[in-house]
Amino acid sequence: MGQLFLTSLESVALLIVMAIPGFIVAKLKMINKEEAVKFLSVTLLYILQPFVTVNSFLNTDFTMDILWNMLAIFLFTAVTELAILYIGKLICHPIKKLDADSKGIISYGGAFGNLSYMCIPFLQLLAPGRHELILYASCSCVIFNLLGWTVGNYAITGDKKFISLKKAFFNPPTLSFIIALPLFIFNINFQRFNLTGIANVFSLFANAVGPLSMTLLGIKLAEMNMKELFLDYRTYIATGIKLILYPVLGLVVMLLMSTFMDIEPIRLNLVALSAMPIANNTMMFVSMANKDTGLAAKEVMISTVLSCVTIPICIMLMA
């Protein structure tokens, strides 16, 4: 247990170290921050995330056990995100100082974790070569997008016009999952066919998600006013929900699941999913709705900083 704590602490620390170059070049004004953020965001979403998904499938042999575990990941992600979204609303409702917009942003932040840009790199560092873990993480990203574009977006805006079923299904992570799934089922993969060169290319793209996502975080952190970042009480409500309540609920759901299935092959995924800080796309959805982007950015930053402590603890206690 102590070794697992140290290994996960090292993995989180390495992720944070990756953010330093982006922070430095942004602070030194060596780049146009707005253009750099846009470029990195597009690269991560439209290029690297699909490579992560397809690479994990093409490096894993199909078994029915893995398929059932994928379904369990789908169920766990949906149940915990929806439950925390509702719990967040209950927590925010009696706080009179919070306006409706803040309540929606806090509720969304508490329910949706940084699965694509932190959970996947974290698992890559924590368990290198374990492609099935990344496969399961890609499954959770599919549910994350389906719920984020629908009930999540509605939680932020309170307006059904912002619900987009089209974008919920037609986004890079989901489309790459749909493309890779039949290849996986029919065992059309790098294990069966000797395509070393192509396999190496896929691996290089897939492994780049960690450095680039952390570089993006560093650039965004350089834009923040440090005093303002740490003094907004609203960010601690959202962070508390995401980093404390979500893992507790995750543990409860894991215990329930363990009564009717063997969760050991997916336990690390379930714990990591539960422990992740607030998702980067909170800022995107809030911006699209013309809400308080400052609050969204501070939620993401504060929760990411504090998760350096909470993620290893969750891994130690729950994995």
The DSSP string of 77-138 is: HHHHHHHHHHHHHHHHTT-TTS-HHHHHHHHHHHH-B-IIIIIHHHHHHHSTT-HHHHHHHH
| Span 289-300, average pLDDT | 90
Confidence of residue 2 (pLDDT cuts 50, 70, 90): low
Instruction: Give yes or no for residue 236 having a pLDDT over 90.
Output: yes
Query: What is residue 91's predicted lDDT score, i.e. its pLDDT?
Result: 96
- 47's enclosing H/E stretch is none
Phi, psi for 291 (deg, rounded to 5):
-100, -165
CB 33 within 8 A of CB 26: yes
pLDDT digits (tens, 9 = 90+) for 6-25: 889 899 999 999 999 999 99
Query: What is residue 1's predicted lDDT score, i.e. its pLDDT?
Result: 59
In this structure, what token pair is assigned to residue 191? 């294990």
* Nearest CA-CA partner of 270 in 296, 242, 249, 239: 249
| Span 237-242, average pLDDT | 97
Side chain identity at residue 40, one-letter code: L
**Cα 130 off chain centre by:** 18
Question: CATH class for domain 2-318?
Answer: mainly alpha
Q: What distance, in Å, lies between the first and last C-alpha atoms of the chain?
A: 9
Query: What is residue 86's predicted lDDT score, i.e. its pLDDT?
Result: 96
* Nearest CA-CA partner of 107 in 316, 317, 249, 299: 299
Q: What does pTM read for this prediction?
A: 0.93
Enumerate the domain spans of the chain: 2-318
